[in-house]
A = this chain, B = another copy of it.
């Protein structure tokens, strides 16, 4: 039942000006007299005119759209929905939208990127879950396709735009916090070496422990990121000669597993203090609530979109990058 589409021509007629003047009012206000601006604006209001996006995109050769590949299971884990919300929000504020797409296998993945760009469906991409030797960045650079990564590169640093959260700083904060609460035997529980971000988080723990003069012996545990493995690994550490009294974890999933693994004393209190990473919604609702290192996702998304827009505006410029600091959310 949509009433007949109202176009820029309708506005022009009602305002008694040319289409071009209407366009100018919208896209180059400084070029037009205040008087006519008002007249055009009121015509726009009256007709409820909204510029057609396809026509505009066709004309300016841009889609004002950012592609995001959503795969399953995502490497972002339970961060994904919050990140997508933040990204969609930041994109909107910059006049962009986020378009989702999927691709099962690596072969179709690159075909999908290509297709979306060639058809003008998206202007570029946001990439997450950047692996140590991820082939995608170089591929995008070679093709001249704009993109920004959530996650810093481990190689070829400086060759493309990225935004990341300083995991090293986050776990160091967690150690400082636990030390201030009197802990000295503080374990780390996280991914096996090789993920990049996991290595950073473990490094932050190690660095802070050394800074406080604390021993690392028997204090590091790594395993796959699931609650079951994490619980088992926590139990193993607790069975050592000098069992930890606290755990710094690579993610909230590890942390929840650690909580399971610790068990509770007679009063129902966990037998070790656990600090998580990511501050997932579940963290606040555990009993007792879980302290966790929070990633500043809205700021991450803002910077990603900002870098993206700048790359579109000046594809030749040197790629920029942003490293943000996470913040410990203590809950005791």
Closest to A1 in B: B144
Q: With a CB–CB cut-off of 8 A, which chain B residues contact A1? A: 143-144, 315
A residues 94-109 with Cβ under 8 Å of B? Answer: 97-102
Query: Could you tell me if B55 and A70 are in contact, using CB atoms closer than 8 angstroms?
Result: no
Give which listed residue, B229, B253, B287, contacts A227 with CB less than 8 A: B287
B-chain residues with CB within 8 Å of residue A71 when the two chains form the complex: 85
Contact A2-B97, Cβ < 8 Å, known A50-B118, A54-B54 = no
Which residues of chain A in 226-261 are interfacial with respect to chain B, using CB atoms and an 8 Å cutoff? 226-229, 231-232, 253, 260
State whether B63 touches A70 (Cβ < 8 A).
no
A72 pairs with B63, CB closer than 8 A: no
Contacts of A82 in B (CB 8 A): 72
A41 in contact (CB, < 8 A): no
Specify the chain B residue showing the minimal Cβ separation from A268: B263
B120 & A102 in contact (Cβ 8 Å cutoff): no
**Set B73, B119, B286: member contacting A53, Cβ < 8 A:** B119
For window 65-88 of A, CB contacts with B under 8 Å fall at 65, 70-74, 78, 80-82, 84-88
Q: By CB atoms of chain B within 10 A, which of A50, A54, A74 has the most?
A: A54
The verdict on A88 contacting B70 (CB below 8 Å), with A97-B101, A287-B231 known, is yes
Q: What are the residues of chain B within 8 A of A229 when measuring CB–CB?
A: 285
Task: Determine how close the nearest CB of chain B comes to the CB of A166; give it in whole angstroms.
Answer: 23
Give min CB distance, A216 to chain B, whole Å. 27
A195 within 8 A of B: no
* Total residues of chain A contacting the partner, CB 8 A: 62
**Residues of B contacting A2 with CB < 8 Å?**
117, 143-144
Which listed residue (B50, B81, B101, B120) contacts A72, Cβ 8 A? B81
Which residues of chain B are within 8 angstroms of A24 by Cβ–Cβ distance? none
Given contacts A53-B121, A89-B102, A144-B1, contact A227 B285 (CB under 8 A): yes
Judge whether B97 and A102 touch: CB under 8 Å.
no
> Closest approach, in angstroms, between the C-beta of A6 and any C-beta of chain B?
9
Q: Is A133 an interface residue (CB 8 A)?
A: no
Name the distance in Å between A93's Cβ and chain B's nearest Cβ.
10
Among the listed B5, B58, B72, B98, which residue makes an inter-chain contact with A55, where contact means beta carbons less than 8 Å apart?
A: B58
- In contact, A102 and B81 (Cβ under 8 angstroms): no
**In the assembled complex, A34 has its CB within 8 A of some CB on chain B:** no
B81 touches A74 (CB 8 A): yes
Is the C-beta of A115 less than 8 angstroms from some C-beta in chain B? yes
CB contacts (< 8 Å) of A215 on chain B: these are none
**Is A52 within 8 A of B119, CB to CB?**
yes
State the Cβ distance, A29 to closest chain B Cβ, in Å.
Answer: 19
**Cβ-closest chain B residue relative to A112:** B92
Cross-chain pairs A/B with CB under 8 angstroms, 5 sampled: A53-B121, A80-B81, A97-B100, A253-B282, A260-B286
12 other contacts beyond A52-B58, A80-B81, A226-B285, with CB at 8 A cut-off? A2-B117, A5-B61, A54-B57, A72-B82, A84-B84, A88-B102, A99-B99, A99-B100, A100-B100, A228-B285, A231-B287, A260-B287
